[in-house]
Chains A and B, each alone.
Chain A
């Protein structure tokens, strides 16, 4: 059953439509990631949910309560929405100690001092900050401030917790660790979580469901794996860093879900037909393939295409090549193979890895 329901949400800033008629549901106890490039409207949706921004149109329901509805004239104040939020800046109050920060939600709910400090202390232990209680909140590191913000967002046991780019300011190692801890914490405490992020690894690592946004609209939404493996549009394919090549439809392969497309006069590839693909021969279409699914090889193999290395860059464990297939450039990421610019290679790709989109 859905815990958060967003219906026809629209938010404009002047003439700019930040969020345009967006609807989605979040089931109870699940996690959803709002993913997209900066300015796509994902943070605006989160702020509308929290009551920090007033939408121009639509309705929001949290746990069966309508918290916002333009038709019914309902707009609950942020403090009436019973949720927790973690900001990118952490927003840890500099004039309070660590435990005062964490106990704040309990204080404004009128809990006695001893009770709330005990609860705060327990929550600090949960996030790994035991012993920091009386420290000034500004005298701890960024990673620790992040944990304070998290403890503060969870201490009053809200059923919905919002994360606004909450991991973006942490360094890579800390971010990885925090992601795993968050996942475990969420399973243990059972809250519903909505993450806003521009980082796909963070989105997939944290969320059951991913909503990918572009220019205020939902581009694609669904289970994380599905969204990743079956890109619904060229925007999605590009956002996930796939090769997206303009090509021409040759026609469907009878009796299969495959189609043949021409990348140029010379190179033809076979790939899976995406949703809503027009298979009329000659139609311009987009052939997409993940960089990791293309491999540059010295030896030819069935279905490989000959080409030359146009450029290479060293990425540590992997190397990225740009392979020129006679006017068509294809990027390939693979374990270091030692090719250099100008080397003659064969681009090896499987038909199942190509997806053809309108």
Chain B
């Protein structure tokens, strides 16, 4: 074959193949690094000065009664939270999607607010509300009603379940509201016409139809709530109640026992990965028999007086417990000179805010660090996610399924476990105790959220839109910049805001990786929680303002969070 004057190997192709592939490679490295570090460390035991490979760490872990204690408490808390939030989440979603409950439009948004709040602050707020001494509700009960509420103890396993339920209900709500809304009315109408009562139809037709979404939500809620560090730290640790995340945290405090912590990490990792894979295959198998939006939209069910009152009571109970009461008590504590269980105008002050914003180095740098991590981390993770999504939708079809499974792994891994992995990896490197290692850990733990959101949008873009740009003379980079990114924009904004929220409130991974000077808002709250509730509440209010502003922007840009 003769070669013409244009006959040379193209140099542009490495960019279009290499850039998405490097995004995938970075993602896999971010997951594999801490994972391998944890595995290796769990198998190393020191006999005197020389390390040897053994199962010693596991033996020591399994024979430790504290291990069994922590596991039992964690399973109870995770299991109860899952059941309760499924019941609450399904009921709220059903009320909003399928009934004529008054104020549905408001509650539709309101039910999602807890999704954007910090569980740690939620737990602190419930301490201010319910603590036996110095809680607002016992104080009201005692002074107004003459009741003592000594039996109501927030520092307990039920206390942990209560706060976790408030925060995980929106997950279930998000999972089931779409199928409830899109369900073909004919399914229910056919049941009613053929003689089924309302309750019989709900139990035997509606519920089974949303069951795939419900079970899939249940697995995610169980895995993530059981792995959450924030709530057990606030409500379990003060009374020595052991949970898995707090136990791992204890193990790496002085005198640190990394081997045993790593062994614990491996146990948790194995369980979460198995559950995540079960959930994935469950979704994959069920995808095509979920109810589709053909035919008529379901009719709205008319609530009678009693039903309306019950529905509104439930909404008030939920939004009151998850949003209004915690925020109110937080504000009271933040503006009080000294919190003694009730608010007094006499001693009201803005001093706490002044102190944490201007005077106190720890809190000032913590706010700066949190903002840096959230702004920079969300941007980097979204960039990474765009490349990965490109690979997952436009790349080598043979490898896509495997890559997708690999990149989804961090979704269920508790932050504390990933933090532990990065700690083991970085402990003898210059990265240790820098903001960079926290940034890397955040991206590693949470980029799959962005990848999922962006991939969903990518799937809706016809590849011919890009191909006609290429044939029009645009390079791959020009096509990305002028066609792909503008079309992806709603999902980029949604993913970015979601990560911003997550990074602003993250605690589990940060607690293991922070050092003096690299504290975040959440870490600063933990450090200050033993000193002054006023400073903590003021910091929490500042964090709340950041989180809610992200929520407002998300609503204004009319983008939506996609789950599943």
B-binding residues in A (CB < 8 A): 50-52, 59, 61, 64-67, 69, 71-85, 87, 89, 91, 93-95, 104-105, 108-109, 149, 152-153, 156, 162
Judge whether A76 and B6 touch: CB under 8 Å: yes
**B9 and chain A: residue at smallest CB distance:** A73
Contact among A65, A104, A162 with B469 in the assembled complex (CB-CB below 8 Å): A104
Judge whether A80 and B9 touch: CB under 8 Å: no
CA A81 – CA B12 in complex, angstroms?
13
**A59 and chain B: residue at smallest CB distance:** B1
Judge whether B474 and A74 touch: CB under 8 Å: no
Contact among B4, B464, B467 with A78 in the assembled complex (CB-CB below 8 Å): B467
A-binding residues in B (CB < 8 A): 1-10, 12-13, 462, 464-465, 467-476, 478, 482-483, 486-487
Judge whether B8 and A91 touch: CB under 8 Å: no
Judge whether B473 and A91 touch: CB under 8 Å: no
**A94 and chain B: residue at smallest CB distance:** B487
Contact status of A50 and B472, CB under 8 A, knowing A69-B3, A73-B9: no
Judge whether B10 and A75 touch: CB under 8 Å: yes
Judge whether A79 and B464 touch: CB under 8 Å: no
Most buried by B among A50, A59, A61, A76: A76
Judge whether A156 and B10 touch: CB under 8 Å: no
Q: Inside 8 A of A84's CB, which chain B residues have their CB?
A: 471-472
Judge whether B483 and A79 touch: CB under 8 Å: no
Judge whether B470 and A79 touch: CB under 8 Å: yes
Judge whether A83 and B471 touch: CB under 8 Å: yes
Looking at the assembled complex, report how far the CB atom of B395 sits from the nearest CB atom of chain A, in whole angstroms. 14
Contact among B8, B472, B476 with A152 in the assembled complex (CB-CB below 8 Å): B472
CA A80 – CA B475 in complex, angstroms?
9
**B489 and chain A: residue at smallest CB distance:** A95
Looking at the assembled complex, report how far the CB atom of B394 sits from the nearest CB atom of chain A, in whole angstroms. 12
CA A65 – CA B6 in complex, angstroms?
7
Judge whether B487 and A77 touch: CB under 8 Å: no
Contact status of A108 and B478, CB under 8 A, knowing A85-B467, A89-B464, A94-B487: yes
CA A77 – CA B471 in complex, angstroms?
9
Judge whether B7 and A77 touch: CB under 8 Å: no
CA A108 – CA B475 in complex, angstroms?
8
Judge whether B475 and A79 touch: CB under 8 Å: yes
Judge whether A66 and B483 touch: CB under 8 Å: no
**B475 and chain A: residue at smallest CB distance:** A79
Q: Inside 8 A of B473's CB, which chain A residues have their CB?
A: 79, 82, 105, 108-109, 156
Most buried by A among B6, B9, B483: B6
CB-CB nearest 4 A-B residue pairs:
A78-B470, A105-B472, A91-B464, A91-B468
CA A77 – CA B483 in complex, angstroms?
17
Contact status of A79 and B471, CB under 8 A, knowing A74-B7, A74-B8, A93-B465: yes
Contact status of A66 and B3, CB under 8 A, knowing A91-B468, A152-B472: yes
Q: Inside 8 A of A51's CB, which chain B residues have their CB?
A: 470-471
Looking at the assembled complex, report how far the CB atom of A197 sits from the nearest CB atom of chain B, in whole angstroms. 17
Judge whether B6 and A152 touch: CB under 8 Å: no
CA A152 – CA B2 in complex, angstroms?
33
Judge whether A72 and B3 touch: CB under 8 Å: yes
CA A253 – CA B245 in complex, angstroms?
96
Contact among A65, A67, A83, A104 with B474 in the assembled complex (CB-CB below 8 Å): A104
Looking at the assembled complex, report how far the CB atom of A351 sits from the nearest CB atom of chain B, in whole angstroms. 49
Contact status of A95 and B9, CB under 8 A, knowing A79-B473, A82-B473: no
**B467 and chain A: residue at smallest CB distance:** A52
Judge whether A77 and B1 touch: CB under 8 Å: no
Judge whether A91 and B4 touch: CB under 8 Å: no
Looking at the assembled complex, report how far the CB atom of B77 sits from the nearest CB atom of chain A, in whole angstroms. 47
CA A293 – CA B8 in complex, angstroms?
55
Q: Inside 8 A of A61's CB, which chain B residues have their CB?
A: 4
Judge whether A79 and B3 touch: CB under 8 Å: no
**B12 and chain A: residue at smallest CB distance:** A77
Contact status of A91 and B1, CB under 8 A, knowing A78-B470, A104-B469: no
